[in-house]
A and B are shown apart, each in its own frame.
Chain A
Amino acid sequence: MAVYKKTYRPYDGASTSGFSRLMVIPRYAFDDLHRSKFLTTFFICSFIYPLVCALIIYVQHNASALQLLGAQGAQKLISINVTFFQALLGWQSMMALFLAAFIGPGLVSPDLANNALSLYLARPFSRVEYVLGKMSVLMILMSFMTWIPGLLLFALQGYLEGWQWMVDNQRLAYAMFFGAWLWIAILALLALALSAWVKWKPAAGGLMFGVFFVSAGFGATVNAVQRTKWGHILQISNLIGQVWVWLFEGNNPTTSGALFFRITQGEEIPLWCCWAALAALAGICLYMLTRKIRGAEVVR
């Protein structure tokens, strides 16, 4: 019907599936993000490090390229090993933190600022779907920044080095995949929870950095004042770092963690404490979301 025929008419056409409804939120969010030149540039820039890594892997396996560069012995300087992939994951994860701080606050706070949640939740669309829809925006983008390039580089290295290398180092692939997902889940939950709690976008973004850097500083202060190592339990980067080391190397690590997520030798806390602290953080974020993501707010 033409729009100029101003009348109300019921809808009796087909309905979409639950999954496609879930995808409505990320689709609209990506449309919105695409309009921001800064975010688009930042996202593209986040692929520079993986591209450099790909170049290193290629050059490592190409003697003529090394000769051309006049660096015949260069392959001995950079080896493609645990440290190489840990550094990649660490750097990319730090980029993901910045991305989450830029994008995360804009996901939920505009809906809460003017009570738009009641519009979402008055439809066949649940609170869980709303949160998953919003989280998926961050999850998709951060996946492209972390484990997807990580696994592509792993595949490239395996292709150039041989099948046996892949079999021998398959733990690296698992570690990058699960380690990145752990970081993505924590970041996404934290970004949404802070965005839901602090309705003002810039404040929510600032708080995102605050949670990481202030808690790290506070943990270090506790360690220094109390002469203990338990302050590390407040440092999210330390907790993630320890879990990553375990994922990459098991119980006998030879490294002290990834770039930006390094752990101090001799100050490791038990691994189960790291898992428990991360689970508690996720639990707090979920609780914050449960309290704030409601169709109608109850005035107490």
Chain B
Amino acid sequence: MMDPVIELDNLEVRLAGRVILKKLNAALTGRSIGLLGPNGAGKSTLMNTLLGFHPPTSGTARVLGRDIRTHAREVRGLIGYMPENDAYIAKMTGVHLVRMMAELSGLPAEHALERAHEAFFYVGLGEVRYRGLGTYSLGMKQAAKLAQAIAHGPKILFLDEPTNGLDPPARLRMIQLIQEIRDRGDLHLILSSHLLRDVEECCDQVLILKDGNVAAFCNLEEERRANRRFLELETRGANNGSFVEAMEKLGCEAATGAQGRLKLILPDKMEVRQLYEVAAQQNVQIRRLNRKRDSLEDIFLKAMEAADGRL
């Protein structure tokens, strides 16, 4: 069992007289964790609370075992934060800002300078690093925010709506960068988004929030593993029944539907190729084969339908 990256222990946060986070409890252990929920669900407030921007009204949270109430400074030392909104100093050049932020995180000046340049090249802004941040496009500003979040080599990266306002190519580039960082395995990643696709593509665990409650928590990696064996077929042919029987003999679980539709769960060792072989033997045509892909959407919609926001 992995040590939790983030533990929420009855965490309640009240802002301007309103309860924003309502006694949250969770232990998140994944390498990349998604915070999902509609606007106003409390995703950004949760991130801000973990960063120490908002004090918890009651309860607490721990980041890599450090309590945010008693070790706030230490916690912030572990984190790289990419905020949701624009965050820059217009008159500063990109590399200047990232260097300053790295120094504030505790890097010696010479290391900070070197890593600021590296971070800018890494996010694809190498050629514009000496330009004033005020002149950057929205996509460039997002990339610059990512650069300042990773320049000091944090242990956890907080990304708050990283693809906000990006056009499709820029979004794709951002997602690729996040995946690359995740796959290196040097840090944990917490990604907050209201976009299912972003979370699905980058995260292996998802905490779904609704109205300040934990609406659902799921391990996407396990879901994906399970779904990899779940197939939906559309078949044509007279021997549909014998095809199903043959598949069941090979260890498949099968359910037949109308008009030649079938749902199959393949056993672990079985390859999809075998399915086509059996179909050919039984004179059955497979017209369509889908893997079940919309698990997160299902979970999300189910969570949103629950009246009190809890599954």
A124 touching B73, Cβ below 8 Å: yes
A119 touching B186, Cβ below 8 Å: no
* In the assembled complex, B100 has its CB within 8 A of some CB on chain A: yes
* In the assembled complex, A296 has its CB within 8 A of some CB on chain B: yes
Contact for B111 among A13, A21, A120, A121, CB less than 8 A:
A13
Chain B positions 57-95 with a Cβ under 8 Å from a chain A Cβ: 73-74, 76-77, 79, 81, 83, 85-91
B16 touching A9, Cβ below 8 Å: no
Give the chain A neighbours of B140 by CB distance below 8 A: none
A119 touching B81, Cβ below 8 Å: yes
Interface size on B, as a range, is: 35 or more
Bound-state CA distance A10–B122 (Å) is 13
Bound-state CA distance A24–B53 (Å) is 22
Of B21-29, B146-154, B276-284, the one contacting chain A is B146-154
What's the least CB distance linking A136 to chain B, in Å? 14
Give the chain B neighbours of A299 by CB distance below 8 A: 16
* In the assembled complex, B103 has its CB within 8 A of some CB on chain A: yes
Q: What is the interface size of chain A, counting residues whose CB is below 8 A from a CB of the partner?
A: 40
Give 1 or 0 for each of A93-134: 1 = CB within 8 Å of chain B CB.
Answer: 000000000000000001101111011111111100000000
* In the assembled complex, A64 has its CB within 8 A of some CB on chain B: no
B81 touching A122, Cβ below 8 Å: yes
Given A3-B121, A123-B101: A115 and B48 interface contact (C-beta under 8 Å): no
Give the chain A neighbours of B231 by CB distance below 8 A: none
B122 touching A119, Cβ below 8 Å: no
Bound-state CA distance A291–B141 (Å) is 27
B103 touching A11, Cβ below 8 Å: no
Bound-state CA distance A274–B90 (Å) is 41
Given A8-B122, A13-B108, A119-B101: A296 and B90 interface contact (C-beta under 8 Å): no
Bound-state CA distance A21–B186 (Å) is 25
B89 touching A9, Cβ below 8 Å: no
Give 1 or 0 for each of A282-300: 1 = CB within 8 Å of chain B CB.
Answer: 0000000000001110111
Residue among B54, B81, B103, B115 having the largest count of chain A Cβ atoms under 10 Å: B103
Which chain A residue shows the least CB distance to B116?
Answer: A3
Give the chain B neighbours of A5 by CB distance below 8 A: 118
Give the chain A neighbours of B106 by CB distance below 8 A: 15-16, 21, 123-124
Give 11 pairs: A residue, B residue, CB < 8 Å, sorted on A: A6-B121, A114-B87, A115-B85, A115-B87, A116-B89, A118-B53, A119-B83, A121-B52, A121-B53, A296-B53, A298-B54
Q: Which residues of B come within 8 Å of A, CB atoms?
A: 15-16, 44, 48, 51-54, 73-74, 76-77, 79, 81, 83, 85-91, 96-97, 100-101, 103-108, 111, 114-115, 117-118, 121-122, 126, 134, 148, 150, 152-153, 155, 158, 180-181, 184, 186-187
Beyond A116-B87, A118-B83, A122-B79, 13 additional contacts (C-beta under 8 Å) are A110-B91, A114-B90, A116-B89, A119-B101, A121-B53, A122-B51, A122-B83, A125-B105, A294-B53, A295-B53, A296-B44, A298-B16, A298-B54
